[in-house]
Structure formats: structure tokens, C-alpha cells
Chain A
Amino acid sequence: MRTIANDPVEAVLAVGLKDLWYPICPSEFVAERPVSLRRLGRKFVIWRETSGKLHALEDHCPHRGAPLSMGMALGDRIACGYHGVQVRFDGVVTSVPGSPGCKLEGAKATRSFHVQEACGAIFLYNSSVDVDQPPPLRLPEELTSDEFSNFLCYAEWKGGYRYVTDNVMDPMHGTFLHKQSHSMAEGDNTATFRVRETDIGFVFEKEGQRDVNFDWTEWADTDLHWMRLAIPYPKTGGPGGSFFIIGSYTPISENVSAVFFWRCRKLSGWQRDTWRFLYRNRLEARHWAVLEQDRVVLEVMEPDANQREMLYQHDMGIVRWRRHMRNLAKEQLAKEEATEQVKA
């Protein structure tokens, strides 16, 4: 998405709102070695202690700015590969081997971030300033309840993360783009939509059609922005009704997004196991083919396509969401300005 110089709201949104949880990568991306990830307008180094405990710092040595990810993890700290400067998980420099006793030792010199693992992904709290305690990571019931089973699908798309949300906030594209798919061949070509408010966001839904195609989508804010939708499985998908998708999208850079889709189904016992077997054996490939249809369209859209649009009734959800995001960005800017004034 194009960053408009001189538009501070756009600049805030381009790198993702602060003080929110974001999924940043699948769990298995971080194994024995420190990993460097560009996300949310900066680079993070993520590593694990041998116990599996995760840590995240800005991937920038406070000494000369070399990536800490080039270094070596030493339990709860990381030693920069350039001069051996050791930085602890909380951003405090614990040792400067080349110059013991220098004033960098003991200083809190690097941004540190809270990370947590859930449902096969690593989530990072994108705090505006370092905090001792982030808010709890609150995920939708499809990801937390024992009644549901889920698989994560992670992909990186060449398009701004807001294009990804626009796409999910637009159920009607299912009837056209996904007409040739394993799950979205049904439903009318026309629909009237309405917006319904919830305690944590809103639902954008077709009037008079549910459980036929991609008929509604929900946007929610629980200190993590996520989306929910349901699409009926064909009869061959067996008992259990529609499958649910929980989505959450994180900017990698201006025109690349980290895309997380959890496919969920409410099943138990042998039915759950059968779905999990079928998912691995064949359904995952079919879901992937549907997602590729979205990716191809999004990636061929010009980065400034959303600057020249003529929207109609089906785009009410997109308009509602964009306005909400702009308001959140303005709130963040006002908060930053107030903090600056206090400092001055």
C-alpha cells in the first residue's frame, strides 16, 4: 500500500498500529538459531532458550548497530557477532567483553518485546514503548476451545496487509473469484449486506443468506486484530458443518504481508480425527488452491489501486473497517503527541 508522504495517519497504518499483539511467524521458524524477522516497521531477533522459552529484541546491537541475529544465543541473552556485546532479553547490556566496566554495561539499550506462542504461531506484542506486562493474548474460541480443532496456514503475499483485510472483508468475491473451488460454488450472484456491531468489533453479512457460500465476515479487536468467517464444506467433507477461518495479518514491509489463516472445525472423537486425516491428505491442497486465487489477484493489483476506487454497497464493510483503522491511528498519534508534550 502506498505511503502518502505528509499523511501521518497513513504512516502509522503502513507499519501496523502499536500496542497490539500480532502473529509474526509459525512456531517452527524459530528453532536452535536466532532468527531475524522484518515485521511492523523494524527488524526483530527471535531466539529460544534450550527450554524452548522465546525472546525477542530489536535486531540491532546497541553498540554499532550490527544485527544481533548474526550473534550467538546464550540462554536468556544474545552475544553480538561483531564485538561480543551481550544483550539480555529485557534489552539490558550485561557484558562488553572488549571494554569491561564501560558505561554501556548495565544500560537498558535495546528495545525488547514480549512474545508468546499459541496455535502453531509466535505472537509479538508491538508495544510503542517497552512494557513490563503486556495485555493477555486473547484469541477467538475457535482457537482456544477444546470443541474445535485447527490447522495454521501461513503465507507471505506481495501486497500490503490492508489489502489482505480488504479481501477478507469482502465476502462477495467468493461467489466470483472462488466459483471454481471445492467450497464456494453455491449462492446468489447478488446480495445486500449489512453491518452488525459486536462488543469487540463488527460483523459484515449478507441479508438472507447464511451457510451457503462465503456469507459473512467478522472483524474483532481483542488487543489483537483478527477476522472470522465460515464457509460450508461440501458433503464429502463429512459431518461437522461449516469450517471456520480465523485470519490475522501483519505487515512485513510496505508491500509484503505475513498472512495467517487458521482453518478450524467443530468436531470431536473419530470425526475430528477423520477431518484431520483428510485435511493432511487432501483438503489442505484444496484450501491452498483457493488462497492462491486471492494471492494472484492481490499481487497483480497496483500498490495504489486503493487510491482510485469506485465502491458500491458490497464494500460497506471495507469502508467501515478503514474508517475504524484511521480513527485508531489518530488516537495513537494523539497519544504520542501528548507523551511528547509531557517530556517537553
Chain B
Amino acid sequence: MNEIKQDIYLNPHQARRRPPTQYEDLLGDSIERAFGAGIHDLSELVAYLNRTGPGCPLNEGIWTETLYQEEIARLAA
């Protein structure tokens, strides 16, 4: 059967596939705070995350540059 779209389409969340997890929200908070504090280098960002959390989901909670890149690529995919 056909599908006729009659309603006005207003969907505020088109990029995400599911609601964010608490970990993702905390990570977003931390990243924004780091950027807001003028941190733009990967090494400084990783150090900031290790100071403020959330912890890395791997490696017993410790962020490294490699792990951050892997994790953020996963979250960005």
C-alpha cells in the first residue's frame, strides 16, 4: 500500500538514532567545558577528561589519545 505523508514534518532530532545515554551526556558536558576553557589540543583534552570524567569506558577508565579517537569515532559514526 501507499504511504502518503500528510502531516507537517517537524522532527527536532534527525541525526541521533536513540536518546543519549548518561555517559554520552556527561562526555558532551566535559568536552564543551574543555573547549569553553580554550582547550583545543587532543593531548590537553584527554588530560582534561582524565581530571573531570567521565571515565573512558575501556582501559579501567583511563583516557589516552588513541582511545579518545577510537571512542569519539564510534560515537560519531
Contacts and interface: CB of A to CB of B under 8 A. Distances in A.
A103 B47 CA distance: 76
Given A156-B9, A238-B35, A281 B14 contact: no
Interface in A230-261: 234-239, 256
Nearest to A157: B8
Q: What size tier do the contact residues of chain A reach?
A: 35 or more
Nearest to A158: B8
Contacts of A35: 2-5
Contacts of A280: 15-16, 20, 75-76
Interface residues of B, number: 33
B9 A155 contact: yes
Nearest to B32: A236
Interface stretch (A111-119, A211-219, A271-279): A271-279
Interface stretch (A128-136, A195-203, A282-290, A321-329): A282-290
B68 interface: yes
A145 B42 CA distance: 24
B76 to A, nearest CB: 4
A9 interface: no
Contacts of A285: 12-13
Interface in A191-210: none
A264 interface: no
A69 interface: yes
Nearest to A151: B15
Contacts of A272: 76
Nearest to B68: A270
Interface of A: 26, 29, 33-37, 45, 67, 69-71, 81, 151-158, 234-239, 256, 269-270, 272-282, 284-285, 288, 295
Interface of B: 1-5, 8-16, 20, 24-25, 27-28, 31-33, 35-36, 38, 40, 42, 68-69, 72-73, 75-76
Given A152-B14, A270-B42, 16 more contacts: A33-B3, A35-B3, A67-B4, A70-B1, A70-B2, A81-B2, A157-B8, A239-B40, A270-B68, A270-B69, A270-B72, A274-B76, A278-B28, A280-B20, A284-B12, A284-B14
